[in-house]
Amino acid sequence: MPEISYRDAVTRGIAQEMTRDPDVVFLGEDVAKPGGCFKATVGLYEQFGGVRVRDTPISEQAILGAAMGAAMTGLKPIAEIMFSDFIAVCFDYIANEFPKARYMSNGQTKCPLVVRTANGAGSRFGAQHSQSVENWCMMIPGLKVVAPSSPVDVVGLMAAAVRDPDPVIFFEHKSLYNMKGEVPDGEILDTLGTAKILRQGKDCTIVALALMVGRALEAAERLRIDHNIDCEVIDVRSLVPLDTKTILASVAKTHRLFTVEENPRLCGWGAEIVSIVADEGFYDLDGPPVRITTPHIPLPAADIMEDVVLPTPQRIMDTIRRSLGG
Protein backbone atom coordinates (compact mmCIF):
# COMPACT_ATOMS: atom_id res chain seq x y z
CA MET A 1 0.00 0.00 0.00
CA PRO A 2 1.35 3.48 -0.83
CA GLU A 3 2.69 5.61 2.02
CA ILE A 4 2.06 9.33 2.27
CA SER A 5 2.74 11.93 4.92
CA TYR A 6 0.13 13.32 7.29
CA ARG A 7 0.81 16.71 5.62
CA ASP A 8 0.06 15.33 2.15
CA ALA A 9 -2.96 13.53 3.53
CA VAL A 10 -4.49 16.91 4.36
CA THR A 11 -4.13 17.99 0.74
CA ARG A 12 -5.38 14.62 -0.45
CA GLY A 13 -8.48 14.77 1.74
CA ILE A 14 -9.39 18.31 0.69
CA ALA A 15 -8.70 17.55 -2.99
CA GLN A 16 -10.83 14.41 -2.84
CA GLU A 17 -13.79 16.42 -1.54
CA MET A 18 -13.28 19.41 -3.84
CA THR A 19 -13.21 17.04 -6.80
CA ARG A 20 -16.37 15.30 -5.66
CA ASP A 21 -18.41 18.38 -4.77
CA PRO A 22 -18.14 21.74 -6.58
CA ASP A 23 -19.69 23.46 -3.53
CA VAL A 24 -16.59 22.74 -1.44
CA VAL A 25 -14.43 25.88 -1.20
CA PHE A 26 -11.33 26.58 0.83
CA LEU A 27 -10.11 29.82 2.38
CA GLY A 28 -7.47 30.94 4.85
CA GLU A 29 -4.27 32.90 5.34
CA ASP A 30 -1.51 31.86 2.91
CA VAL A 31 -3.33 28.67 1.99
CA ALA A 32 -3.69 29.17 -1.77
CA LYS A 33 -0.64 30.38 -3.68
CA PRO A 34 1.82 29.76 -0.82
CA GLY A 35 0.33 26.31 -0.11
CA GLY A 36 -0.07 26.88 3.60
CA CYS A 37 2.19 27.83 6.48
CA PHE A 38 2.81 24.11 7.05
CA LYS A 39 2.74 23.28 3.32
CA ALA A 40 -0.30 21.11 3.96
CA THR A 41 -2.33 22.55 1.08
CA VAL A 42 0.25 22.70 -1.70
CA GLY A 43 -1.23 22.34 -5.16
CA LEU A 44 -4.89 22.95 -4.31
CA TYR A 45 -4.81 26.46 -5.78
CA GLU A 46 -3.28 25.14 -8.99
CA GLN A 47 -5.74 22.26 -9.18
CA PHE A 48 -8.98 24.04 -8.29
CA GLY A 49 -8.27 27.68 -9.13
CA GLY A 50 -8.47 30.99 -7.33
CA VAL A 51 -12.24 31.12 -7.08
CA ARG A 52 -12.50 28.02 -4.90
CA VAL A 53 -9.14 28.26 -3.11
CA ARG A 54 -8.54 31.74 -1.72
CA ASP A 55 -5.96 33.57 0.31
CA THR A 56 -7.49 35.92 2.87
CA PRO A 57 -6.23 38.90 4.84
CA ILE A 58 -5.02 38.19 8.39
CA SER A 59 -8.58 38.43 9.64
CA GLU A 60 -9.62 35.34 11.55
CA GLN A 61 -13.08 36.71 12.30
CA ALA A 62 -13.63 37.48 8.62
CA ILE A 63 -12.41 34.00 7.67
CA LEU A 64 -14.76 32.15 10.01
CA GLY A 65 -17.64 34.56 9.50
CA ALA A 66 -17.33 34.29 5.73
CA ALA A 67 -17.21 30.52 5.99
CA MET A 68 -20.42 30.60 8.01
CA GLY A 69 -22.25 32.91 5.62
CA ALA A 70 -21.21 30.76 2.69
CA ALA A 71 -22.28 27.60 4.53
CA MET A 72 -25.67 29.08 5.46
CA THR A 73 -26.37 29.84 1.82
CA GLY A 74 -25.32 26.62 0.18
CA LEU A 75 -21.56 26.16 0.00
CA LYS A 76 -19.46 23.68 1.99
CA PRO A 77 -16.50 25.78 3.11
CA ILE A 78 -13.26 24.58 4.62
CA ALA A 79 -11.61 27.42 6.56
CA GLU A 80 -8.08 27.28 7.89
CA ILE A 81 -7.02 28.91 11.12
CA MET A 82 -3.25 28.74 10.85
CA PHE A 83 -2.50 27.89 14.48
CA SER A 84 -5.21 26.58 16.78
CA ASP A 85 -4.15 29.14 19.39
CA PHE A 86 -5.65 31.79 17.07
CA ILE A 87 -9.09 30.31 17.65
CA ALA A 88 -9.08 32.65 20.63
CA VAL A 89 -9.31 35.70 18.35
CA CYS A 90 -12.31 34.34 16.44
CA PHE A 91 -13.88 32.35 19.23
CA ASP A 92 -17.20 34.14 18.81
CA TYR A 93 -17.85 32.10 15.67
CA ILE A 94 -16.77 28.84 17.30
CA ALA A 95 -18.62 29.46 20.55
CA ASN A 96 -21.60 31.66 19.67
CA GLU A 97 -22.33 31.59 15.98
CA PHE A 98 -21.69 28.22 14.24
CA PRO A 99 -23.04 26.00 16.97
CA LYS A 100 -26.09 28.02 17.96
CA ALA A 101 -27.54 29.23 14.66
CA ARG A 102 -29.47 26.05 13.97
CA TYR A 103 -30.85 25.83 17.49
CA MET A 104 -31.79 29.48 17.90
CA SER A 105 -33.52 29.53 14.52
CA ASN A 106 -35.51 26.42 15.41
CA GLY A 107 -33.78 24.44 12.69
CA GLN A 108 -33.89 27.01 9.88
CA THR A 109 -30.20 27.85 9.68
CA LYS A 110 -27.64 25.37 8.41
CA CYS A 111 -23.93 25.56 9.04
CA PRO A 112 -22.09 22.76 7.22
CA LEU A 113 -18.46 23.82 7.40
CA VAL A 114 -15.04 22.62 8.51
CA VAL A 115 -12.46 24.63 10.40
CA ARG A 116 -9.09 22.96 10.10
CA THR A 117 -6.26 24.13 12.29
CA ALA A 118 -2.75 23.16 13.35
CA ASN A 119 -2.80 22.13 16.98
CA GLY A 120 -0.33 20.98 19.58
CA ALA A 121 3.27 21.15 20.72
CA GLY A 122 6.62 19.87 19.57
CA SER A 123 7.78 22.77 17.44
CA ARG A 124 9.22 24.80 20.34
CA PHE A 125 7.02 27.75 19.44
CA GLY A 126 6.07 28.63 23.01
CA ALA A 127 2.83 29.28 24.79
CA GLN A 128 0.85 30.96 21.97
CA HIS A 129 1.69 28.67 19.05
CA SER A 130 1.88 25.22 20.62
CA GLN A 131 -1.24 24.69 22.66
CA SER A 132 -3.61 21.77 22.48
CA VAL A 133 -6.98 23.47 22.55
CA GLU A 134 -9.39 20.77 21.45
CA ASN A 135 -11.10 21.03 24.83
CA TRP A 136 -11.96 24.67 24.09
CA CYS A 137 -14.25 23.34 21.37
CA MET A 138 -15.41 20.12 22.99
CA MET A 139 -17.41 21.99 25.60
CA ILE A 140 -19.72 23.75 23.15
CA PRO A 141 -23.07 22.15 22.26
CA GLY A 142 -23.62 22.13 18.50
CA LEU A 143 -20.02 21.59 17.40
CA LYS A 144 -18.30 18.41 16.30
CA VAL A 145 -14.62 17.97 17.10
CA VAL A 146 -12.10 15.57 15.53
CA ALA A 147 -8.34 15.12 15.82
CA PRO A 148 -6.77 12.43 13.62
CA SER A 149 -3.51 10.70 14.49
CA SER A 150 -2.52 9.13 11.16
CA PRO A 151 -2.50 9.98 7.45
CA VAL A 152 -5.29 7.58 6.57
CA ASP A 153 -7.48 9.01 9.32
CA VAL A 154 -6.73 12.52 8.09
CA VAL A 155 -8.12 11.69 4.65
CA GLY A 156 -11.12 9.72 5.85
CA LEU A 157 -12.12 12.05 8.66
CA MET A 158 -11.61 15.11 6.46
CA ALA A 159 -14.04 13.58 3.98
CA ALA A 160 -16.51 12.79 6.75
CA ALA A 161 -16.16 16.31 8.18
CA VAL A 162 -16.74 18.00 4.83
CA ARG A 163 -19.80 15.86 4.16
CA ASP A 164 -21.19 16.35 7.65
CA PRO A 165 -24.13 18.78 7.90
CA ASP A 166 -22.83 20.26 11.17
CA PRO A 167 -19.87 22.55 11.90
CA VAL A 168 -16.74 20.45 12.49
CA ILE A 169 -13.51 21.65 14.08
CA PHE A 170 -10.69 19.56 12.61
CA PHE A 171 -7.50 19.56 14.67
CA GLU A 172 -4.38 18.56 12.78
CA HIS A 173 -1.33 17.99 14.92
CA LYS A 174 1.62 20.01 13.74
CA SER A 175 4.14 17.48 15.08
CA LEU A 176 2.51 14.79 12.97
CA TYR A 177 2.76 16.57 9.60
CA ASN A 178 5.97 14.65 8.77
CA MET A 179 4.58 11.28 9.91
CA LYS A 180 4.15 8.74 7.13
CA GLY A 181 1.54 6.08 6.91
CA GLU A 182 -0.19 3.75 4.52
CA VAL A 183 -3.12 5.24 2.66
CA PRO A 184 -4.96 3.13 0.11
CA ASP A 185 -5.63 4.51 -3.36
CA GLY A 186 -9.14 5.63 -4.24
CA GLU A 187 -11.81 7.42 -2.28
CA ILE A 188 -11.60 7.20 1.50
CA LEU A 189 -14.53 8.06 3.73
CA ASP A 190 -14.45 7.52 7.48
CA THR A 191 -17.13 8.05 10.13
CA LEU A 192 -17.20 10.80 12.75
CA GLY A 193 -17.86 9.63 16.27
CA THR A 194 -15.92 6.39 16.03
CA ALA A 195 -12.90 5.56 18.16
CA LYS A 196 -10.38 2.99 16.95
CA ILE A 197 -8.82 0.23 19.00
CA LEU A 198 -5.22 0.27 17.76
CA ARG A 199 -3.93 -2.40 20.07
CA GLN A 200 -5.82 -5.14 21.88
CA GLY A 201 -4.95 -5.81 25.51
CA LYS A 202 -6.37 -7.20 28.72
CA ASP A 203 -4.64 -5.43 31.63
CA CYS A 204 -5.63 -1.78 31.10
CA THR A 205 -7.16 0.65 28.63
CA ILE A 206 -5.16 3.64 27.43
CA VAL A 207 -7.25 6.31 25.69
CA ALA A 208 -5.24 8.84 23.67
CA LEU A 209 -5.65 11.49 20.99
CA ALA A 210 -3.54 12.85 18.12
CA LEU A 211 0.19 13.05 18.97
CA MET A 212 -0.39 11.14 22.19
CA VAL A 213 -1.63 8.07 20.31
CA GLY A 214 1.83 7.15 19.05
CA ARG A 215 3.30 7.75 22.49
CA ALA A 216 0.65 5.55 24.09
CA LEU A 217 1.40 2.78 21.60
CA GLU A 218 5.12 3.06 22.30
CA ALA A 219 4.51 2.90 26.05
CA ALA A 220 2.23 -0.10 25.59
CA GLU A 221 4.90 -1.95 23.64
CA ARG A 222 7.54 -1.30 26.28
CA LEU A 223 5.17 -2.26 29.10
CA ARG A 224 4.59 -5.60 27.39
CA ILE A 225 8.27 -6.27 26.79
CA ASP A 226 9.66 -4.95 30.08
CA HIS A 227 6.83 -5.65 32.51
CA ASN A 228 4.48 -8.11 30.85
CA ILE A 229 1.63 -5.61 31.08
CA ASP A 230 -0.84 -5.97 28.26
CA CYS A 231 -2.41 -2.60 27.36
CA GLU A 232 -5.33 -1.89 25.09
CA VAL A 233 -4.83 1.40 23.20
CA ILE A 234 -7.78 3.40 21.90
CA ASP A 235 -7.45 6.38 19.59
CA VAL A 236 -10.46 8.55 20.45
CA ARG A 237 -10.22 10.41 17.08
CA SER A 238 -13.54 12.19 17.58
CA LEU A 239 -14.29 14.07 20.79
CA VAL A 240 -17.76 15.04 19.58
CA PRO A 241 -19.55 12.81 18.85
CA LEU A 242 -17.78 10.70 21.44
CA ASP A 243 -17.62 6.94 21.01
CA THR A 244 -18.29 6.08 24.63
CA LYS A 245 -19.40 2.54 23.74
CA THR A 246 -15.94 1.54 22.55
CA ILE A 247 -14.32 3.04 25.66
CA LEU A 248 -16.80 1.54 28.14
CA ALA A 249 -16.57 -1.88 26.48
CA SER A 250 -12.79 -1.76 26.70
CA VAL A 251 -12.84 -0.80 30.37
CA ALA A 252 -15.31 -3.63 31.02
CA LYS A 253 -12.66 -5.96 29.62
CA THR A 254 -9.46 -4.50 31.14
CA HIS A 255 -10.90 -2.99 34.35
CA ARG A 256 -8.44 -0.07 34.34
CA LEU A 257 -8.48 3.28 32.52
CA PHE A 258 -5.69 5.71 31.65
CA THR A 259 -6.11 8.83 29.52
CA VAL A 260 -3.15 10.45 27.80
CA GLU A 261 -3.85 14.11 27.06
CA GLU A 262 -1.66 16.84 25.65
CA ASN A 263 -3.96 19.57 26.93
CA PRO A 264 -3.28 21.25 30.28
CA ARG A 265 -4.93 19.37 33.07
CA LEU A 266 -8.06 21.30 34.02
CA CYS A 267 -11.12 20.35 31.99
CA GLY A 268 -9.12 18.28 29.51
CA TRP A 269 -11.14 15.85 27.39
CA GLY A 270 -9.95 12.98 29.54
CA ALA A 271 -11.83 14.42 32.51
CA GLU A 272 -15.11 13.93 30.64
CA ILE A 273 -14.20 10.37 29.70
CA VAL A 274 -13.19 9.56 33.27
CA SER A 275 -16.46 11.05 34.46
CA ILE A 276 -18.48 8.91 32.06
CA VAL A 277 -16.60 5.76 33.03
CA ALA A 278 -17.04 6.61 36.72
CA ASP A 279 -20.78 7.00 36.16
CA GLU A 280 -21.44 4.11 33.87
CA GLY A 281 -18.51 1.72 34.28
CA PHE A 282 -17.76 2.11 37.97
CA TYR A 283 -18.26 -1.54 38.85
CA ASP A 284 -16.01 -2.59 35.96
CA LEU A 285 -13.09 -0.70 37.48
CA ASP A 286 -10.49 -2.41 39.66
CA GLY A 287 -8.72 0.84 40.48
CA PRO A 288 -8.97 4.58 40.04
CA PRO A 289 -8.94 6.01 36.51
CA VAL A 290 -5.74 7.96 35.97
CA ARG A 291 -5.21 11.01 33.76
CA ILE A 292 -1.78 11.60 32.29
CA THR A 293 -1.70 15.21 31.07
CA THR A 294 0.44 18.24 30.50
CA PRO A 295 0.59 20.10 33.83
CA HIS A 296 -1.62 23.14 34.27
CA ILE A 297 0.94 25.63 32.95
CA PRO A 298 1.45 27.70 29.80
CA LEU A 299 3.82 25.83 27.49
CA PRO A 300 7.48 26.80 27.74
CA ALA A 301 9.34 27.37 24.47
CA ALA A 302 12.70 25.72 25.17
CA ASP A 303 12.97 22.18 23.84
CA ILE A 304 14.23 20.69 27.08
CA MET A 305 11.34 22.24 28.98
CA GLU A 306 8.64 21.42 26.44
CA ASP A 307 9.85 17.82 26.33
CA VAL A 308 9.43 17.52 30.09
CA VAL A 309 5.89 18.86 30.31
CA LEU A 310 4.24 16.82 27.57
CA PRO A 311 3.35 13.22 28.41
CA THR A 312 6.19 11.04 27.13
CA PRO A 313 6.21 7.30 26.53
CA GLN A 314 8.39 7.01 29.63
CA ARG A 315 5.95 8.96 31.80
CA ILE A 316 3.01 6.99 30.46
CA MET A 317 4.86 3.73 31.12
CA ASP A 318 5.94 4.71 34.61
CA THR A 319 2.48 5.94 35.57
CA ILE A 320 0.77 2.79 34.38
CA ARG A 321 3.35 0.47 35.92
CA ARG A 322 3.13 2.17 39.31
CA SER A 323 -0.62 2.31 39.19
CA LEU A 324 -0.97 -1.35 38.30
CA GLY A 325 1.58 -2.26 40.96
CA GLY A 326 3.84 -3.96 38.42
Contact pick of 3, 21, 46, 59 for other proteins (by CB under 8 A)? 59
Dist. CA 318–CA 324, nearest whole Å? 10
Q: Is 129 a catalytic residue?
A: yes
Nearer to other proteins, 146 or 217 (CB): 146
- How many residues form the binding site for other proteins (CB under 8 A)? 52
Amino acid at residue number 317: M
Q: With contacts defined by CB under 8 A, name the span among 155-163, 200-208, 240-248, 285-293 that binds other proteins.
A: 240-248
DSSP letter string, 6-62:
HHHHHHHHHHHHHHH-TTEEEEETT-STT--TTS-STTHHHHH-TTTEEE--S-HHH
Q: With contacts defined by CB under 8 A, name the span among 10-18, 170-178, 217-225, 242-250 that binds other proteins.
A: 242-250
Q: With contacts defined by CB under 8 A, name the span among 40-48, 182-190, 236-244, 289-297 that binds other proteins.
A: 236-244
Q: Is the dihedral of CA 17, 19, 20, 21 positive or negative?
A: positive
Three-class SS of residue 99? helix
286 CB burial (10 A radius; 0-12, 13-18, 19+): exposed
Nearer to other proteins, 81 or 324 (CB): 81
Q: 129, 173, 255, 296: which one is catalytic? A: 129
Contact pick of 20, 110, 124, 222 for other proteins (by CB under 8 A)? 110
Cβ atoms 243, 194 nearer than 8 A: yes
Contact pick of 108, 266, 279, 325 for other proteins (by CB under 8 A)? 108
Does residue 61 interact with other proteins by CB under 8 A?
Answer: yes
Does residue 137 interact with other proteins by CB under 8 A?
Answer: no
Burial 146-165 (b: 16+ CB within 10 A, else e): bbbbbbbbbbbbbbbbbbbe
Dist. CA 43–CA 178, nearest whole Å? 17
State the CB neighbour count (10 A cutoff) for residue 37. 16
Contact pick of 1, 106, 185, 266 for other proteins (by CB under 8 A)? 106
Chain residues in the site for other proteins (CB under 8 A): 25, 51-52, 54, 56-57, 59, 61-75, 77, 92-93, 96-97, 101-110, 112, 141-142, 144, 164-166, 193, 240-245, 276
Active site residues: 129
